[in-house]
């Protein structure tokens, strides 16, 4: 049995050899008082919000330098981890091709690429040399950060539209270029949130964000695009002035645009946390106005798509509507597409119920094809895939073969296809690109991610349950190396639990570096997500938010009671709202784990939710509540991590974040670390790693991501003594 040395002890020993432990940053205290509901709240570090202040920048630099010095003992391990990550990568990788129009598209990674390159081949020359469509590496040249949000070729295949973030704050620029010629791109719009080509091949619809980060406007622009090729050397793309189509004044709602699966309509989804409507615009008419299928109703969410008529079906064209008007987990309705010619008030009369609402069976998405419909749904805390028999109202489930996994809809651009493309993965199964035959129900595996050096027989995935304080069973998905399953072992436990977002088991080859060293990995599917349907979310938001934290504690206790890990070998991790969960749990039970790895954390809950000038705040009232209302304030005051740090002993804590994060502002983790370090009663690690050029998802590019993960994993391994 080897001796376990904590990272803090190793750091102290190393620095003692070289002289002394460096002094931690000690930012000055400048109390700002807020009086609310008869109470005075004191914020000693509110000044850190002054983004461009030399003092703030100097403080963040001091935090980074301090973290670098304190983590110096793990640098050798970090490099070994990076080498291992690279050894598990397929240096030259290409995705499974998919068809759009007359071309087969795919993306490729070559050994030295930081980003994808998108290429295509004509459908009748699939073995020929690929034509470059979009090279993200070229976009990233001379940029500290680049993230491609999405790209779309026009239906005629001559042009591409793409949205890219070059800061990390989710500010997307929309560009249009000839295929493969981004040097001739024009910037069509800034700060967009979604876009889609119309079916005429020359009109683009896009939504833009306002200063509060809300998508409140839908525009369309018609481009002057020649059909002949090659283009003249001096040709430049020209566009009409943007036309405002919809402006949404309700601050709780966002607008999103996409083309229907049938290509017949533009679908304009206008959504909040508890209401949604879809407006329709004929996709071939650049002057058409939006059509309401059913007027918006408070507390009702409708999501619409369209299926064209076909001679092999008995019915004509129809709209399929996911609606929660009869229950939280949605039912599926059908209306003939001829209803759009009726007056607005009669369009939604007598819809056919295709699938009834079933509590606990959450209908997540409906994928429509010419000859069939596929439904992704949640049942018994698992994602399910089902073929829908529309005429009989029957959902035929597909057996996926594992106890827990994640399904993601894939590249399904061809409405006429007889197969549904999707990806499948789990904690032990590398990502597979699969097809479900719409007629036979057969699943074909088109490609499994190649992971050099990985033997699937070495990992064992399990699903266990914890019992919450109210008796609810909370699922935990766990993966361990087959040779490291006896007795309490080190474990990294991930938690999220917010917004009704399910945290399904997903593959990541970098985890092999933990698993091969004897450290397990687990996901606690706590309430606040939607793993148990939307009721799973309802039971842990607003005034019930603390349920997420007590569920997390129950999951830890279950892992301890079953002998899977111990408090001395457990590391808790969570990012964004998951960082809130970890921060709240540490305040409730500071001795719950050996270390905590907290990413881009939403930890300054009350101050953020009081500031309606920040992006997303007003919309997030539907998740957390408004602290100006006393009942919500009282609950937030009990759990807000920044406001509940106590003078007790805490585990080692590494917080990582990004200066340009547009979702959780940099000052939240900076303030949290300063207060935690100043308040705790021990000298264990309290570290902040602030990426000065990344975004909410961290740095861009493969090598930057690997360096950041290597630092986090090395901290994790050192914390539990797995240094060899």
Q: Catalytic residues, which ones?
A: 576, 661, 696
Cα 44 → chain centroid: 32
In 210-301, the DSSP E strands lie at 215-224, 238-239, 243-247, 254-259, 265-271, 276-282, 291-292
Q: Report the C-alpha gap between 584 and 248 in whole angstroms.
A: 36
CA atoms within 13 A on the CB side of 486: 1
The single-letter DSSP state of residue 63 is H
**DSSP per-residue codes, 466-507:** EE-TTS-EEEEEEEEETTS-SSS--EEEEE---TT-------
Secondary element (H or E) of residue 707 = helix 702-719
Q: Report the C-alpha gap between 637 and 590 in whole angstroms.
A: 18
The secondary structure of 436-463, three-state, reads EECCCCCEEEEEECCCCCCCHHHEEEEE
- Phi-psi group of 210: left, alpha or beta (phi > 0 → left; psi -120 to 50 → alpha; rest → beta): beta
631: its two tokens: 């009942």
Count of residues for the chain?
Answer: 724
The single-letter DSSP state of residue 415 is T
Secondary element (H or E) of residue 422 = strand 419-425
Q: Is 694 exposed, middle or buried (0-12, 13-18, 19+ CB in 10 A)?
A: buried
Smallest CA-to-CA distance from 429 within 411, 408, 455 is with 455
Q: Report the C-alpha gap between 33 and 457 in whole angstroms.
A: 58
162: its two tokens: 């793409």
Distances (CA, A) of 550 to 499, 572, 575, 592, 648: 17, 14, 18, 12, 20
Max CA separation in the chain (angstroms): 83
The tokens 């798509």 sit on which residue?
A: 305
**DSSP per-residue codes, 29-88:** P--EEEEETTEEEEETTGGGG-TT-HHHHHHHHHHHHHHHHHTGGGHHHHHHHHHHHHHT
Residues 241, 245, 249, CA angle at the centre, nearest 5°?
120
Instruction: Please give the span between the terminal C-alpha atoms of the chain, in angstroms, as a whole number.
Output: 13
Smallest CA-to-CA distance from 321 within 310, 342, 306 is with 306
Cα 245 → chain centroid: 29
Distances (CA, A) of 618 to 543, 572, 610, 635, 660: 17, 30, 9, 18, 21
């Amino acid at each position: 049995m080897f001796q376990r040395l904590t990272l803090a002890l190793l750091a102290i020993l190393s620095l003692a050899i070289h002289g002394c432990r460096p002094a931690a940053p000690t930012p000055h205290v400048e109390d700002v008082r807020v009086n609310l509901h008869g109470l005075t709240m004191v914020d000693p570090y509110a000044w850190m919000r002054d983004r461009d202040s030399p003092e703030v920048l100097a403080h963040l630099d001091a935090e980074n330098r301090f973290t670098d010095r304190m983590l110096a003992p793990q640098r050798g391990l970090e490099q070994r981890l990076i080498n291992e990550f690279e050894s598990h990568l397929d240096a030259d990788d290409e995705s499974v091709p998919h068809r759009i129009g007359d071309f087969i598209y795919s993306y490729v990674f070559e050994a030295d690429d930081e980003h994808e390159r998108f290429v295509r081949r004509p459908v009748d020359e699939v073995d020929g040399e690929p034509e470059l469509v979009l090279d993200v590496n070229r976009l990233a040249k001379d940029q500290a950060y680049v993230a491609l949000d999405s790209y779309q070729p026009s239906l005629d295949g001559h042009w591409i539209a793409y949205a890219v973030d070059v800061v990390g704050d989710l500010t997307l620029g929309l560009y249009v270029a000839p295929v493969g010629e981004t040097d001739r791109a024009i910037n069509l719009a800034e700060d967009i949130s979604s876009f889609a080509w119309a079916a005429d091949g020359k009109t683009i619809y896009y939504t833009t964000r306002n200063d509060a980060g809300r998508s409140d406007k839908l525009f369309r622009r018609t481009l002057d695009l020649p059909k002949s090729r090659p283009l003249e050397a001096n040709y430049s793309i020209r566009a009409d002035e943007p036309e405002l189509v919809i402006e949404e004044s309700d601050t709780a709602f966002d607008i999103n645009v996409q083309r229907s699966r049938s290509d017949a309509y533009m679908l304009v989804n206008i959504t909040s946390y508890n209401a949604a409507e879809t407006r329709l615009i004929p996709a071939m008419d650049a002057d058409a106005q939006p059509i309401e299928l059913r007027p918006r109703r408070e507390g009702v969410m409708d999501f619409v798509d369209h299926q064209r008529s076909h001679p092999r079906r008995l019915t004509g064209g129809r709209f399929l509507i996911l609606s929660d008007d009869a229950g939280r987990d949605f039912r599926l309705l059908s209306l003939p597409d001829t209803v759009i010619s009726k007056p607005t008030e009669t369009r939604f009369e007598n819809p056919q119920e295709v699938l009834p609402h079933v509590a606990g069976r959450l209908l997540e998405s409906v994928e429509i094809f010419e000859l069939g419909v596929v439904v992704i749904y949640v049942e018994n805390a698992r994602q399910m895939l089902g073929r829908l028999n529309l005429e009989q109202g029957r959902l035929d489930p597909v057996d996926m073969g594992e106890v827990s996994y994640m399904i993601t809809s894939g590249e399904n651009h061809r409405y006429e296809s007889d197969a549904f493309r999707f990806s499948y993965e789990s904690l032990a199964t590398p990502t597979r690109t699969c097809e479900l035959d719409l007629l036979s129900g057969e699943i074909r595996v088109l490609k499994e991610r190649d992971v050099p050096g990985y033997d699937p027989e070495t990992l064992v995935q399990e699903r266990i349950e914890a019992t919450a304080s109210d008796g609810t069973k909370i699922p935990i998905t766990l993966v361990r190396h087959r040779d490291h399953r006896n007795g309490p072992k080190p474990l990294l436990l991930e938690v999220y639990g917010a917004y009704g977002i399910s945290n399904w088991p997903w593959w990541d080859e970098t985890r092999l570096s933990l698993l091969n060293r004897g450290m397990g990995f687990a996901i606690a599917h706590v309430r606040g997500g939607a793993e148990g349907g939307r009721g799973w979310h309802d039971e842990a938001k607003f005034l019930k938010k603390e349920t997420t934290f007590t569920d997390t504690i129950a999951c830890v206790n279950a892992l301890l009671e079953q002998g899977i890990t111990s408090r001395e070998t457990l590391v808790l991790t969570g990012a964004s709202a998951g960082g809130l969960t970890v921060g709240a749990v540490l305040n409730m039970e500071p001795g719950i784990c050996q270390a905590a790895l907290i990413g881009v954390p939403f930890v300054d809950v009350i101050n953020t939710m009081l500031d309606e000038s920040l992006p997303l705040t007003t919309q997030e009232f539907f998740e957390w509540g408004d602290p100006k209302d006393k009942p919500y304030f009282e609950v937030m005051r009990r759990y807000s991590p920044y406001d509940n740090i106590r003078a007790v002993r805490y585990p080692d804590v590494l917080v990582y974040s990004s200066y340009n994060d547009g979702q959780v502002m940099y000052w939240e983790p900076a303030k949290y670390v300063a207060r935690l370090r100043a308040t705790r009663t021990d000298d264990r690690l309290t570290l902040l790693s602030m990426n000065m050029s990344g975004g909410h998802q961290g740095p861009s590019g493969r090598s930057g991501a690997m360096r950041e993960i290597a630092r986090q994993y090395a901290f994790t391994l050192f914390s539990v003594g797995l240094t060899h």
